[in-house]
Amino acid sequence: MATASTTTTTTNRFPTRNPNPNPNPKLPHLLSFKFSRYPSLLSHLHLRRRFSSISAASTGDQTIVPFDSEKPREECGVVGIVGHPDAAHLCSLALHALQHRGQEGAGIAASDLSTLRSSTGLGLVSEVFDPSKPGLSLSSLTGPAAIGHVRYSTAGAAASIHNVQPFLASYRFGQLAVAHNGNLVNYPSLRSSLEEKGSIFNTSSDTEAILHLIATSKSRPFLSRVAEACSYLRGAYSLLFLTADKLLAVRDPHGFRPLVLGRLPRANGAPSAVVFASETCALDLIGAKYEREVEPGEAIIVDARTLDISTSCLMPSKPRKACVFELIYFALPQSLVFSHPVYESRYSFGATLAAESPVPGADVVIPVPDSGFFAALGFSERSGVPFQQGLIRSHYVGRTFIQPSQAIRDLGVKLKLSPIKGILAGKSVVVVDDSIVRGTTSSKIVRLIRDAGAKEVHMRIASPPIIASCYYGVDTPSSEELISNRMDIEGVRKEIGADSLAFLSLESLRGLLGDEAPSFCEACFSGNYPVPPVEYEDVNSKEPLYVA
């Protein structure tokens, strides 16, 4: 497989295989031969299961870690638009709305119905698509279909241009671009197996393994090749594929990472464009109307010429395990994620925290901006303690990476957060944040507030203690680096220097999620992984790679 920017698509046909029964009656299964828009497509569909003995391998890549890495880092964000003459430009706007999900790199691939072209780069969306910079500009990405990506690395070297998506490749059936939000827990095994069979990798990203699986598949048509590739994947993936004339959205069977479908009305009676995005905030920015989630295990394929839509159950259904941290921290508060309004969820987390861990005699409640805002508001209104913005965040500080000395690193919080002494001085202050990871930034915030004259500093965290790493597309430290894995709550309190510390209990979080609680992944709080990391598996097993 070689990367390319100009290739035309070719087609071949392969013999028909017998279909499997539909495991999810709510969706027409890929192998059920019930496609309303593509009857001829399904007549050539088959899916083969392979059995492999795979050994794990390490890529050996080193990532650059931001000094202010107290928070779990945003995974990635994807957007796809089909049926609009300015698809690439709309993609760039939608990526701005998803910038919080990744700031290391951005890219767009577009199709003019015959050729795919892409432009990728390191930095923010505004930097990558700066019209004053040399390179392939947005105006060169013509056509009615495009996919885009913003990246924060969870697999693959962070500062490598080769790892910035969408990936664009050419193979025997034409061109293919892919954008991926998530993380494959069996990537080392997949890569090792593919390399043993002759595949040559150009990146250290787990997404490239998906392209190799599709390129080596002998199934027909394209949807069948994707189905075969996905049968080997374990972990989290919300995927957008773009060919010369089709856009395909796929979500993993557990639905770890979000992916939504919307429609963008057009003037003069033209058919509405179809939009996919990681969050509804991207739909809102470009004026698209939210329609629904892409269901776990579902594939939605859109014909770029006719805008006909077909949907199928690509993979056998599994228990849904949506990432609860999307509601706690990742998603923007104006977004609808997993059908939940994010701001309402955060408000309820803070209000419940106030009920179970009040601070008698407190004078003021302040958030750690920006993610602690709605939780602090809920805490304030439930407790009756006044809400104030005691910390002001600077939005003009760039992405700051590891600095040469500890003294300079310690100034990082002061660069980003400024206390208002008139609000804090002489007060008993409740500081509400969404999470504590290593504890380093929390201790600096406590010192910052004390230095501003606060009499007492009480820390309240609107999520349970994080005790385990995430393997599903969230960049968290190793378990040994997680302060709540090493210490009890009293130990953490002493470490960060607060007068008191309380977390939202896991039982309360589950109660707030109600009947849906079992459908959320809470592995970072409980250590119970719905898809065990590959190192926990017997590498000599003869079972299929995909067993999640």
Cα–Cα distance for residue pair 77/259, rounded to 1 Å: 9
Whether the CB-CB separation of 374 and 343 falls below 8 Å is answered with yes
One-letter amino acid for residue 371 of the chain: S
Cα–Cα distance for residue pair 548/385, rounded to 1 Å: 46
- The residue annotated as part of the active site, out of 76, 230, 281, 313, is 76
Cα–Cα distance for residue pair 346/367, rounded to 1 Å: 12
Cα–Cα distance for residue pair 130/82, rounded to 1 Å: 23
Q: Is 433 known to sit in a ligand binding site?
A: yes
Q: What are phi and psi of 185, to 5 degrees?
A: -75, -20
Cα–Cα distance for residue pair 310/306, rounded to 1 Å: 12
DSSP state of 331: S
Q: Is 323 known to sit in a ligand binding site?
A: yes
Q: Is 434 known to sit in a ligand binding site?
A: yes
- Short-list 196, 197, 201, CA closest to 3: 201
Whether the CB-CB separation of 496 and 442 falls below 8 Å is answered with yes
Q: Chain-centre distance of CA 26, in angstroms?
A: 25
Both tokens assigned to 428: 């008993």
76 is catalytic: yes
Cα–Cα distance for residue pair 418/457, rounded to 1 Å: 16
440-451 helix and 489-496 helix, angle to the nearest 10 degrees: 50
Q: Please identify which residue in the block is written with the tokens 């006719």.
A: 306
Report angle CA 431, 432, 433 to the nearest 5 degrees: 120
Q: Is 281 known to sit in a ligand binding site?
A: no
One-letter amino acid for residue 375 of the chain: A
Report angle CA 223, 75, 81 to the nearest 5 degrees: 45
Cα–Cα distance for residue pair 278/289, rounded to 1 Å: 14
Q: Is the bond preceding 85 in cis, omega lying within 30 degrees of 0?
A: no
Both tokens assigned to 344: 């309402």
Q: Is 371 known to sit in a ligand binding site?
A: yes
Whether the CB-CB separation of 468 and 506 falls below 8 Å is answered with no
Length of the chain: 548
H or E element that contains 459: strand 456-461
Q: Chain-centre distance of CA 347, in angstroms?
A: 22
| 295 three-state secondary structure | coil
Active site residues: 76
Residue numbers in the known binding site for Mg(2+) are 371, 433-434
Task: List residues forming the annotated binding site.
Answer: 323, 371, 433-434, 470, 521, 524
Q: Where is the binding site for [4Fe-4S] cluster, in residues?
A: 323, 470, 521, 524
